[in-house]
Amino acid sequence: MPLDRRHFLIQSGSAAAVVALFGQGCASPSTPTAMGSGEVLGFTGVPASLRDGIVVPPEYEWQLLYPWGTPTGVANRMPSFAPDASNSADDQAAQAGMHHDGMHFFALDASGERGLLVMNHEYTDEQLLHTDGVKEWTAGKVRKSLHAMGVSVIEIRRTDKGWQQVLPSPFARRVHGSTPMRIAGPAAGTPLMRTTANPAGDAVFGTFANCAMGVTPWGTYLTCEENFHGYFGGPKDAARNATAAQRRYGTVAGSQWVEYWRFDERFDVSRHPNEPHRFGWVVEIDPFDPTATPVKRTALGRKRQESATCTVAKDGRLVVYMGDDSRFEYIYKFISRDKVRPGTDAAARAANRHLLDEGTLYAARYDAGGRGQWLELTHGCNGLDAANGFADQAEVLIHARLAGDHVGATKMDRPEWIAIHPQSGEVYVTLTNNSQRGDAGKPPPDAANPRANNLFGGILRWREDAGDAAATGFAWDHFALAGDPAQPGSGARYPSASADAFGAPDGLHFDRGGLLWIQTDMSGQVIGKPPYTALGNNQMLCADPASGRIKRFLTGPNGCEITGCVVTPDRRTLFVNIQHPGEARDDGDTKPNSAWPDGTTPGSARPRSATLAIRRRDGGIVGT
Ligand code: FEO
Ligand code: CA
Ligand code: CA
Ligand code: CA
């Protein structure tokens, strides 16, 4: 039985036992095909558009769910959204966070019409979050900001009025920047993880900067801490003491995005240099048990963490693919020491509880000629030893970027999401862009990152040797080099003539039928301007890897990014997040350029990130 068709029974806190059926769990190369009905990509493609709204094919409809500020019922609190942003920090901890990102649907019954929607809240727009913005920071604003990031767990159900949030729900939960969590794996408790507040180095408050995600075969959610560095800082004059590792990770005093450090001293790197070591991890959350403590899994390495996409090797070990989204950073793979105990029942969950704590981390090298190698990041191997600055495995993991340098991994054009084809096991990664490729003092183009000044990004893929995710060698090629083919010199190269153009691919999701959903994140500063004009606003496309066709499916409101994507197990609903509508603001004008979804003209309402539930009007399989 494929992973996503296994029933399981669990006890969830005080909630009654529930029978759950998973949706898009870990893809496995052995997962049987289930193409469903209808012509692949049979929908009416939509044009690129600068329209300030949601556009989907005419045979589809969308519905709004869970915008920022929606009450969750957490702690029996239902604070309604205050349109003037006057909600308190405590209110925000019981409401939807800002900037919805990676997301998964965990079905709660065999109908597939009841489930948990679990999503990340990536970052904050402080101007929108507080009534008077942040001309003056306060301790209360820091708390509210921390509470606006993290993860939401909500229960949803499909009714004759469409998908609705179930309130109250025993599953409802907000995990945020102040939630107590555990640190586990080889780096836990080691000197670089110890702080004044936690001398044991094994516990931390909070997760934030939660971007892409993953799902384990035993039914837990993996949230990934991406741009955590921007929340740490300190007095500018402390920057001269920054170490090479701090500079590489961007946790340098004076470079902060927000002024947390002035009100919460743990964010001051000049006073607490180890606190940033406790961020930049993959965090495991059990969405079915609201009392379960989230756990940071250090065996997977520290980076500006993108996806943690799981699959199972031929011998039953877990394999997790990860990207590190900065210019010239690496792609990683983790292979567990132990085998996955199959199933999602209580016994399997207990048996797999420590699976992410022991294993081997690798970084990828993409060689010319289409071959590649996984390079082991283990202390004592490949020169990763004290003589080269790595005292032990904890240091290799905490400074995984430096370890990747040492072994000669390939510096990529900003690796974002990773998705695995459910039948072939081929692995696809979005490389979103890299405007500095080829600049003076920066790495030149290479085989895998072939374009200097790579404005539009692309999608690269590989096939592990012998079709085994645990292999150390692989074959790779480019699925697409994105851009506007009409732009001279854009170098755009799509897999077929019938591919719609896009730029800055980011979110990536394979549904069970093998359709690849691609989401874009062009910066708000460039949308609608040359050479990006013809690409319109950010968009979502659907690709059929078998034919190379790529068809535009959705375009979003002004200034937004489209990110977070999951197709339900019955393939009849597609959940998508609209992140930061209105984010683009012209110089000197702080007014957001969209009021979506509450207003139709910019300035008429605070724009809010939100989830869309998208279905075919005839209830058919999405993407066909
Ligand atoms: Fe949060 Fe790299 O996108
Ligand atoms: Ca992203
Ligand atoms: Ca991005
Ligand atoms: Ca964005």
Cβ count near 189 (within 10 Å): 18
Which pLDDT band, with edges at 50, 70 and 90, does 585 fall under?
A: confident
- The three-state secondary structure class of 466 is helix
Please tell me what DSSP assigns to residue 250: T
**Residue 73 pLDDT exceeds 70:** yes
CA torsion through residues 53, 56, 62, 68, sign? negative
Does residue 53 fall inside a structural domain?
Answer: no
Cα–Cα nearest to 352, from 215, 467, 224: 215
β partners of residue 427: 420, 462
- pLDDT at position 75: 86
Per the structure, the count of domains in the chain is: 1
Q: Is residue 459 a contact partner of residue 479, using CB atoms and an 8 Å limit?
A: yes
The closest-lying atom of ligand 1 relative to the alpha carbon of residue 306 is: 2
Minimum-distance ligand 1 atom for the alpha carbon of 521: 3
Of 429, 434, 360, the closest CA to residue 400 belongs to 360
| Cβ 151 under 6 angstroms from ligand 1 | no
Instruction: Flag whether 33 is in a domain.
Output: no
| 573-604 residues labelled b (16+ CB within 10 A) or e (exposed) | bbbbbbbbbbbbbeeeeeebbbbbbebeebee
Q: What is the pLDDT of residues 493-513, one digit of tens each?
A: 999 999 999 999 999 999 999
Q: How confident is the model over 77-96, as pLDDT tens digits?
A: 999 999 999 999 999 999 99
The pLDDT, as a whole number, for residue 27 is: 38
Task: Among the bound ligands, name the one nearest to the CA of residue 505.
Answer: 3
**241 domain residue, yes or no:** no
Residue 30 confidence (pLDDT) above 80: no
484 ligand 1 Cβ < 6 A: no
Amino acid at 241: N
Strands (E), 359-470: 359-366, 371-376, 412-413, 415-420, 427-431, 458-464
Distance (Å, whole) CA 219 – CA 605 = 38
Looking at residue 587, what is its pLDDT? Answer: 62
CA-based end-to-end distance of the chain = 25
- Ligand at minimal distance from the CA of 227 is 1
Our answer on whether the CB atom of 583 is closer than 6 Å to any ligand 1 atom is: no
Q: Residue 36: what pLDDT?
A: 45
Mean pLDDT on 551-562: 98
- Choice between 268 and 586, residue whose per-residue pLDDT is larger: 268
The predicted-structure confidence for 323-335, as pLDDT tens digits, reads as follows: 999 999 999 999 9
- Closest listed ligand to the CA of 538: 4
Q: Is 226 in the pocket of ligand 1 (CB under 6 A)?
A: yes
Residue ID of nearest Cα to ligand 1 atom 1:
211
Q: pLDDT tens digits, residue range 276-303?
A: 999 999 999 999 999 999 999 999 999 9
User: Is 267 within a domain?
Assistant: no
CA of 210, nearest ligand number: 1
Which ligand ends up closest to the CA of 99?
Answer: 4
Mean per-residue pLDDT over the chain, rounded: 93
Judge whether 170 lies within some domain: yes
Does residue 44 fall inside a structural domain?
Answer: no
Reported residue count of the chain is: 624
26 pLDDT band, cuts 50/70/90, is: very low
570: closest CA among 39, 50, 73, 107?
Answer: 107
504 within domain boundaries: yes
Q: Which residues contact 530 (CB under 8 A, 6 or more apart)?
A: none
SS percent in the chain: helix, strand, coil, step 5: 15, 35, 55
The answer to the question of residue 412 being in a domain is yes
What is the tens place of the pLDDT at every residue in 421-434? Answer: 999 999 999 999 99
**How high is the pLDDT of residue 340?**
98
563 C-alpha to center of ligand 2: Å? Answer: 7
- Give distance in angstroms: CA of 212 to centre of ligand 2: 6
Position 547 scores a pLDDT of 97
- In angstroms, the CA 200 to CA 613 distance is 44
Ligand 1 binding pocket includes 211 (Cβ within 6 Å): yes
In terms of residue numbers, what domain contains 518?
4-21+66-226+280-616
Q: Which position has the token pair 């062009």?
A: 522
d(CA 603, CA 594): 7
**Residues in contact with 589: Cβ distance below 8 Å, sequence separation at least 6, in sequence order:** none
CB of 306 shorter than 6 A to ligand 1: yes
Percent of the chain scoring above 70 in pLDDT: 93
* Confidence band for 35, pLDDT divided at 50, 70 and 90: very low
159, containing H or E segment: strand 150-159
Ligand in nearest proximity to the CA of 323: 1
Q: What SS3 state is found at 556?
A: coil
| Chain segment 153-198, per-residue pLDDT in tens | 999 999 999 999 999 999 999 999 999 999 999 999 999 999 999 9
C-alpha of residue 362 to centroid of ligand 2, in Å? 22
Verify whether ligand 1 is closer than 6 Å to residue 275 (CB atom): no
Distance set, CA 450 to CA 20, 117, 370 (Å) = 45, 38, 13
452/68 Cα distance (integer angstroms): 38
pLDDT band at 19 (very low <50, low <70, confident <90, very high): very low
pTM of the model: 0.94
Query: Is the predicted pLDDT of residue 444 greater than 50, yes or no?
Result: yes
**108 pLDDT exceeds 50?**
yes
Phi, then psi, of 26 in degrees rounded to 5 = -60, 130
Cβ-Cβ contacts under 8 Å for 517 (sequence gap 6 or more) = 507, 508, 509, 510, 511, 540, 541, 542, 543, 553, 565, 567, 574, 623
Write down the residue that tokens 């949308």 correspond to.
527
Please tell me the least confidently modeled range out of 343-352, 374-383, 580-589: 580-589
* Index of the ligand 1 atom closest to the CA of residue 211: 1
Instruction: Examine the pLDDT at 214 and tell me if it is beyond 60.
Output: yes
Token pair of 187 as six digits: 């780096």
* Cα 101 to ligand 1 centroid, rounded to whole Å: 9
pLDDT at position 6, please?
26
pLDDT digit string, tens, across residues 297-322: 999 999 999 999 999 999 999 999 99
Q: Determine the pLDDT at residue 111.
A: 87
416 lines ligand 1 (CB under 6 A): yes
Burial per residue of 196-214, b for 16 or more beta-carbon CB atoms within 10 angstroms, e otherwise:
eebeebbbbbbbbbbbbbb
* pLDDT higher than threshold 80 for residue 21: no
| Structure-block tokens of residue 327 | 């210019």
Label residue 11 by pLDDT band (50, 70, 90).
Answer: very low
**Is residue 431 lining ligand 1, measured as CB closer than 6 Å?**
no
Residue 126 CB–ligand 1 contact under 6 Å: no
Say if CB 260 and CB 178 are below 8 A apart. Answer: no
Query: Which residues in 356-472 belong to E strands, given as ranges?
Result: 359-366, 371-376, 412-413, 415-420, 427-431, 458-464
Is the Cβ atom of 413 under 6 angstroms away from ligand 1?
Answer: no
Atom from ligand 1 closest to the CA of residue 325: 2
Q: Ligand 3: distance of its center to the CA of 506 in Å?
A: 5
Identify the residue whose C-alpha is closest to ligand 1 atom 3: 211
Q: How far is the CA of 267 from the centre of ligand 4 (A)?
A: 23
Query: What's the CATH code of the domain at 468?
Result: 2.120.10.30
pLDDT tens digits for 445-472?
Answer: 999 999 999 999 999 999 999 999 999 9
pLDDT at site 588: 63
